[in-house]
Amino acid sequence: MTNELVVAPYDPRWADMFEEERVRLEAALLGLALRIDHHGSTSVPGLPAKPIIDIQVSVARLHPMDGYRVVLRELGYRHVPHPDDAFCPFFHRPEGTPHSHHIHVVESGSAEERRTLAFRDCLRENADIAAEYARLKQTLAPRFTHATMADYASAKGEFIERVIARALAAGYPRDLR
């Protein structure tokens, strides 16, 4: 197995993979999940991506985490404790690498919920911005491995923050209650 970070061409099956997992999560998180959204590059048609389905689960109260943490563990997700737990706890499956799914839990109505969906929606509706992001990812990916994915994410940070600021100013996300 290679340890290389792979940015794959867009795969239309990613939408189906999300939908299958959304149904599974919705049933298991009944009464806890207020929204379950596909986000990240696999949610943007035509955008190359790491082949990992990113899912944002919005809950009424982020803490205590036990209510959803236990359910997600039963579904095969592992919680990765991190300082971001204060606003966006992170889970992945399977336990080892490569991961197939990532879950980011956010509080409904929070800035983090809005930022993530604004970025996604902006990329979906602006082909020029999505193309710029694709070029950046394809330039950066060969420099990193799975072991340095945090560094890869950090290297994209300035671009992402710039797009989020533009997206929020333009009224994204469009469908947030």
Sheet holding 90-93, edge to edge: 33-39, 53-59, 101-107, 90-93, 78-79
- Angle between the 149-169 and 127-140 helix axes, to the nearest 10 degrees? 170
pLDDT tens per residue, range 128-156: 999 999 999 999 988 887 667 788 889 99
pLDDT digits (tens, 9 = 90+) for 155-169: 999 999 999 999 999
- Superfamily (CATH H level) for 13-169: Beta Polymerase, domain 2 (3.30.460.10)
pLDDT digit string (tens) for 83-99? 889 999 999 999 888 89
12-66 pLDDT tens trace: 999 999 999 999 999 999 999 999 999 999 999 999 999 999 999 999 999 999 9
Q: Which runs of consecutive H residues, i.e. helices, occur in 50-176?
A: 66-74, 111-125, 127-140, 149-169
Domain segments of the chain: what residues? 13-169
